[in-house]
Every structure is written in structure tokens, then in C-alpha cells.
């Protein structure tokens, strides 16, 4: 079961600012923060540690059947463990990055990992958890009172990502972003808001304005949900 009221669900394409905005929101509101992308990275690391080929769906399913994930929710201390192993730094290795899409494409694995997200939020000691990533608003927590699609024009997302990756060629970053969008959209639709999902387009907004816009939606939605529950 999804503890829907504890979810602040934020979807969006690569480079939309989901992570940085979500962490800022969690800090300001005193909520937890769950980086679902880190969970898939941890699973990719786990599969590779088993010596399995992440392009082999059966091998991925086998490795995922025993995946003891433990993920911190503090927006300023987000340690990730698989069993007793701290993989916080290891999951950012290029070898792991290259393996994530193969793991995330397996439908049964997505179902399993989504259940893990629901469990983590349900057991969280925070009053709510800002959960960002793919298909959070539509699959993981479709009944959450706050569901937001954070987006921006492709060229803006590419420019922001290039700014984060100092020294990277802007054109190469844009091409990589385009490929990521194309690859991910074959699994989930994160470019179009589902019914009931609020859109925050940050194309013309700076970071602080984007955070304020998301905070405004959260306030409106949570107030409306409280009003409905007392109606």
C-alpha cells in the first residue's frame, strides 16, 4: 500500500533540475528526500558485482531478487548502502552509469524497486518525503496529493547540464541529453503531465524562482487535500 499523503512526487526529464530543486524543497519544509535514480544506480552496481550482464534481463532479475537497499532520506546526508556496503560514491562510477538503463528497462525490476520506494516512504520518520525521478507521479504514487512535473525547454536543460559539467562540450551534452530523453521515454512518459499533475516549467525561471513555484504548488495541493479530508 502507498502511504500517499507522505509523498511529494516530482517527475521530469533529464536536466530539468529535479534533484537540486527537490533537495531545496526538502530542506525548507523539513521533509525527507528520496533520489530514486540513486536506487537504480545501486541496483546496477549490485548486478555488476554479481558479474551479471546488465543487458541480460534474466540476469538482472536474478540479481535484483536479492537487493538489500538501504537509502538515507536526509537531503544533506544521502548515504546509499547495499547490504553492509556503502556504495554512495561507487554508484557514480562511469561503469555504473553506463549500466543503469539496462537495469531500469526490465519491467519486473521496476515493479520491485517501486515497491521499495513505497516502503521507504511509508517507514520514514519525516512528515513527508520529496520523491523525485521517473514515473513517480504516475506509477509509484499516482494517488499522492502533490504531483508535479518539473520541466524546461530542451536547450535550457542542456545548457544547465553543461554548466554543471565544467569543461564538457555543450553540443555533446545536448546530444547526450537528447539520447537520454529518447531512451527513457521508451519506458515511461515523463514529458507529458498525467491528469491531475501540476506542471512547473522553469524555462524562464532561475533556481530560486523555480523553488518558489514548486513550493506554491505544494502549499496549494496540501491545503486542498486537508480541506477535502475535513469536508
Q: Which residues are annotated as a binding site for ATP?
A: 12-20
Beta strands 198-201 and 146-151 are: parallel
Residue of 46, 44, 50, 37 whose CA lies nearest to 11: 37
* Residues facing residue 10 across a β-bridge: 132, 148
Residue 53 belongs to what H/E stretch? none
How far lies 152's CA from each of 15, 81, 127, 131, 182, in Å?
Answer: 8, 32, 29, 19, 16
Which residue numbers belong to the known binding site?
12-20
* Residues facing residue 32 across a β-bridge: 129
How far apart are alpha carbons 146 and 142 in whole angstroms? 9
Amino acid at each position: 500500500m502507498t502511504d500517499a499523503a507522505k509523498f511529494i512526487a516530482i517527475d521530469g526529464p533529464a536536466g530539468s533540475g529535479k534533484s537540486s530543486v527537490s533537495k531545496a524543497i526538502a530542506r525548507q519544509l523539513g521533509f525527507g528526500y528520496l533520489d530514486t535514480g540513486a536506487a537504480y544506480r545501486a541496483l546496477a552496481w549490485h548486478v555488476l558485482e554479481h558479474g551479471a550482464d546488465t543487458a541480460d534481463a534474466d540476469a538482472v532479475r536474478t540479481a535484483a531478487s536479492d537487493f538489500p537497499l538501504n537509502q538515507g532520506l536526509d537531503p544533506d546526508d544521502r548515504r546509499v548502502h547495499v547490504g553492509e556496503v556503502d556504495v554512495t560514491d561507487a554508484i557514480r562510477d562511469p561503469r555504473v552509469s553506463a549500466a543503469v538503463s539496462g537495469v531500469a528497462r526490465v519491467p519486473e525490476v521496476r515493479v520491485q524497486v517501486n515497491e521499495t520506494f513505497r516502503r521507504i516512504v511509508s517507514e520514514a520518520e519525516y512528515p513527508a518525503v520529496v520523491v523525485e525521478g521517473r514515473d513517480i507521479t504516475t506509477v509509484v504514487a499516482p494517488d499522492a496529493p502533490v504531483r508535479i512535473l518539473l520541466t524546461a525547454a530542451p536547450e535550457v536543460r542542456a545548457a544547465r547540464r553543461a554548466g554543471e559539467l565544467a569543461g564538457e562540450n555543450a553540443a555533446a551534452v545536448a546530444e547526450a541529453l537528447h539520447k537520454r530523453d529518447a531512451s527513457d521515454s521508451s519506458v515511461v512518459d515523463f514529458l507529458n503531465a498525467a491528469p491531475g499533475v501540476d506542471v512547473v516549467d522553469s524555462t524562464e525561471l532561475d533556481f530560486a524562482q523555480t523553488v518558489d513555484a514548486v513550493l506554491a504548488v505544494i502549499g496549494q495541493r496540501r491545503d486542498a487535500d486537508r480541506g477535502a479530508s475535513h469536508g
